[in-house]
Chains A and B, each alone.
Chain A
Amino acid sequence: MPDRIVVGAHYGWRDWLVQRITAIVMTLYTLLILGLLLWYGGLEFASWKAAFGNEAFRGATFVFMVALFWHSWVGVRNILMDYVKPIALRLVLQVLVIAALVGYTGWTIQVLWGAR
């Protein structure tokens, strides 16, 4: 059994794939937003509110945000693995990043489906 580093690189193919699938999801959503902006010819409160009143748009936005958070996790984790050498500090930072992303997910749900 080779020595394993708790917060080191593991077999990265899954992260590699996640990074790319989430990237494609986010690109598609970006094109959707671009299309909507062109369709509405700008951004006004009424169209803005109407867009977020649409359940399909809220769903798409949620999928985008989850893709964004997962993508962020892979990327930020890579950065931490590259530049933060002390294992303990790296672990603390990774936990903080996870906490932030879980919090952001809750915040996103609140923004999308909360006070309406």
Chain B
Amino acid sequence: MAALDRPVMKPRPVYLNLFAIRMPLPAVVSILHRASGALLFVVGIPLVLCVVQRALASPEAWADMRGAFTAPWAKLVAIALAWAFLHHLLAGLRHLLLDVHVGVDLPAARQSAAFTMVLAIVLTVAVAVRLW
């Protein structure tokens, strides 16, 4: 039958080799959106639950938590997570705009990608300055 010449279903899921692809800026924003999401899931969620739980226990535990974030490595973790959160949030909002066909032309998409990257970094620097 002619209708069955075409496969009913393409083989899914499709795998892409990220290392064989040269990525333009919107693709970099996209892969960082994914990487930041993964970081927020693996480190962010359990850490936030832990910190909130401890910090609600008592004024002493609250002070301990604040104290814990004076260590340089803890600040670095906090700053990394702040970047992940900000980049993920901004890239996500950009995605929502693209979904409703705002800024889908290539020049606009490139601009908004650059804007997303830069704003996430600027806000992260602001967080870092506040923290240090």
**Which A residues fall within an 8 A CB radius of B?**
2-3, 5, 8-9, 20, 23-24, 27, 30, 45, 48-49, 52, 68-69, 72, 75-76, 79, 81-83, 85, 104, 107-108, 110-111, 115
Cα distance A77–B55 in the bound complex, in angstroms: 31
Interface of A is mostly: helix
Contact status of A20 and B96, CB under 8 A, knowing A2-B8, A8-B12, A85-B15:
yes
> Closest CB-CB distance, A9 to chain B, in whole Å?
5
**Which B residues fall within an 8 A CB radius of A?**
8-9, 12-13, 15-16, 34, 37-38, 40-41, 45-46, 49, 52-53, 55-57, 59, 62-63, 89, 92-93, 96, 99
Inter-subunit contact B56/A75 (CB<8 Å) = no
Inter-subunit contact B96/A45 (CB<8 Å) = no
Chain B residues contacting A2 (CB-CB under 8 Å) are 8-9
Nearest to A81 among chain B residues (CB) is B13
Inter-subunit contact A76/B89 (CB<8 Å) = no
Inter-subunit contact A48/B41 (CB<8 Å) = no
**Residue among A52, A110, A111 facing the most chain B CB atoms (10 A cut-off):** A111
Nearest to A23 among chain B residues (CB) is B92
Inter-subunit contact B89/A3 (CB<8 Å) = no
